[in-house]
Amino acid sequence: MKASLRWMNVIGPSSMRSRSTSFIGLGRMGHEMAYNLFSKQFAHANESQFVVCDAIPESAQRFCSNFVKQYPGANINIAKTPEEATRASQTIITMLPSSPQILSVYHDGIIPTLRKLPADQAESTFCIDSTTLDVDVARSVAKGVAEARSQMVDAPVSGGVTGAKAATLAFLVGGTVTGFKQAQPILALMGQRIIHCGPSGAGLAAKICNNLILGVQQMVVGEAMLLGTKLGLDPAVLSSVISSSTGNCWSISVNNPVPHALPEKSPPCERDYEGGFATALMLKDMGLASNVAALAGCPVPLGQAAETLYAQMVEERPELAQKDFSSVYKFLKQVMEEGKTIKA
Ligand code: NAD
């Protein structure tokens, strides 16, 4: 079937809606997650309907074409808007950049549509949001969904694009116990670990705390590797020493920022920092941590210093914004070589 035929009315009878899943946001993560979810759902129940939606129509089109090529009998369609995706499916998954997109998709699209649905359809609708966004925004959206008679959990992920592709993601779930139990079998098709962190917003709180550590950790590893090499150490020797000492962490032993420092592994620095977790996304997550810390009245001085440095990096070297955030090492090296100053 030609991909262009997929621009069709996705709204079927309500019996179809109960067998339909809509996935909104087919970016680097969402594309892989939706692919795993739909292919496993299709293998299990080939009468399922799949609906995809993205602000960039070509992304949805490309997803459909690839999926139909691999699963010729699959009933997969494109929703032009979140409203259409909501009318089409009982299960709705969102994987968008951050708070502004979630506010727009839920408050302008999903929630008003849920309010207009017949009671039985609204009550059976279940939303899972895997975006990393502000905790208070996630809570306000979940409240809006509940007021529209539907269920929602926040389920941000850890594991990156590689984990999304391999379906080995960890999902950090915030919501009721009932919501968590409902989400579990769906999330199990896209990941390996599904952890109930607490009520609405708790999954995000856990994710933001983890990334606060990660953002600072990757930066200090960059500093230590730069200092060590400046002092004449071989990066591979230094990495091996730290990996077996108290400084060991993911940023040194897996995501090491110095080419050839991990001879057995292939971190993003071996590909000029392509792939991995974009610096722009890390900057966003550091901002989420300072926002929520300010609201909670909790000091995060190292997090704020790291946020300032990532912001300087993206401003002065915009080409590093989409590279892996371990490229902070490259930025620091350049600052050193050019005798510039650091703002943080
Ligand atoms: P991305 O920018 O690649 O994808 C976002 C997608 O959302 C894009 O396809 C975009 O077109 C679409 N979109 C934006 N606004 C939309 C709207 N209004 N309606 C419909 N679609 C819209 O981002 P990503 O890397 O896939 O990350 C998604 C989320 O996952 C982010 O919150 C990120 O912080 C988090 N995350 C990413 C990684 C990673 O390694 N990339 C790891 C863990 C968590």
pLDDT tens digits along 11-51? 666 679 999 999 999 999 999 999 999 999 998 887 899 99
Ligand 1 and 54: CB distance under 6 A: yes
For the CA of 30, the nearest atom of ligand 1: 26
- The alpha carbon of 100 and the centre of ligand 1 are apart by a number of angstroms equal to 12
Ligand 1 and 226: CB distance under 6 A: no
- The alpha carbon of 25 and the centre of ligand 1 are apart by a number of angstroms equal to 6
- The alpha carbon of 54 and the centre of ligand 1 are apart by a number of angstroms equal to 10
Q: Which residues are catalytic?
A: 207
Q: Is 107 exposed, middle or buried (0-12, 13-18, 19+ CB in 10 A)?
A: middle
Ligand 1 and 48: CB distance under 6 A: no
Q: Using CA atoms in the order 100, 174, 287, 329, what is the torsion angle rounded to 10 degrees?
A: -120
Ligand 1 and 30: CB distance under 6 A: yes
The CA-atom distances, in angstroms, between 172 and each of 29, 146, 166, 204 are 15, 20, 18, 7
Q: ∠ CA(75), CA(49), CA(191), 5° rounding?
A: 110
Ligand 1 and 105: CB distance under 6 A: yes
What is the predicted pLDDT for the residue at 44?
87
CA dihedral (61, 67, 70, 71) positive or negative: negative
Candidate from 281, 285, 324, 326 with most ligand 1 atoms within 8 A of CB, to mutate: 281
What is the predicted pLDDT for the residue at 3?
38
Residue nearest to atom 44 of ligand 1 (CA): 157
Residue nearest to atom 9 of ligand 1 (CA): 27
What is the predicted pLDDT for the residue at 276?
86
Residue located via tokens 């950790």: 217
Count other C-beta atoms under 10 Å from residue 8's C-beta.
9
3-state helix, strand, coil in the chain (%, to 5): 55, 15, 30
To which H or E segment does residue 126 belong? strand 126-129
Residue nearest to atom 12 of ligand 1 (CA): 25
Q: How far is CA 193 from the centre of its chain?
A: 15
To which H or E segment does residue 154 belong? strand 151-154
Give the whole-angstrom CA distance, residue 141 versus residue 129. Answer: 10
Contact 127, 282 (CB under 8 A): no
What's the whole-number average pLDDT of the chain?
Answer: 94
- The alpha carbon of 227 and the centre of ligand 1 are apart by a number of angstroms equal to 35
Candidate from 24, 26, 29, 128 with most ligand 1 atoms within 8 A of CB, to mutate: 29
Ligand 1 and 97: CB distance under 6 A: yes
CA dihedral (179, 182, 188, 193) positive or negative: positive
pTM for this predicted structure: 0.91
- The alpha carbon of 64 and the centre of ligand 1 are apart by a number of angstroms equal to 18
- The alpha carbon of 278 and the centre of ligand 1 are apart by a number of angstroms equal to 11
Ligand 1 and 268: CB distance under 6 A: no
Ligand 1 and 104: CB distance under 6 A: yes
Ligand 1 and 275: CB distance under 6 A: no
Ligand 1 and 95: CB distance under 6 A: yes
pLDDT tens digits, the chain, 344 residues: what are they? 343 335 545 666 667 999 999 999 999 999 999 999 999 999 888 789 999 999 999 999 999 999 999 999 899 999 999 999 999 999 999 999 999 999 999 999 999 999 999 999 999 999 999 999 999 999 999 999 999 999 999 999 999 888 999 999 999 999 999 999 999 999 999 999 999 999 999 999 999 999 999 999 999 999 999 999 999 999 999 999 999 999 999 999 999 999 999 999 999 999 999 988 999 999 999 999 999 999 999 999 999 999 999 999 999 999 999 999 999 999 999 999 999 888 77
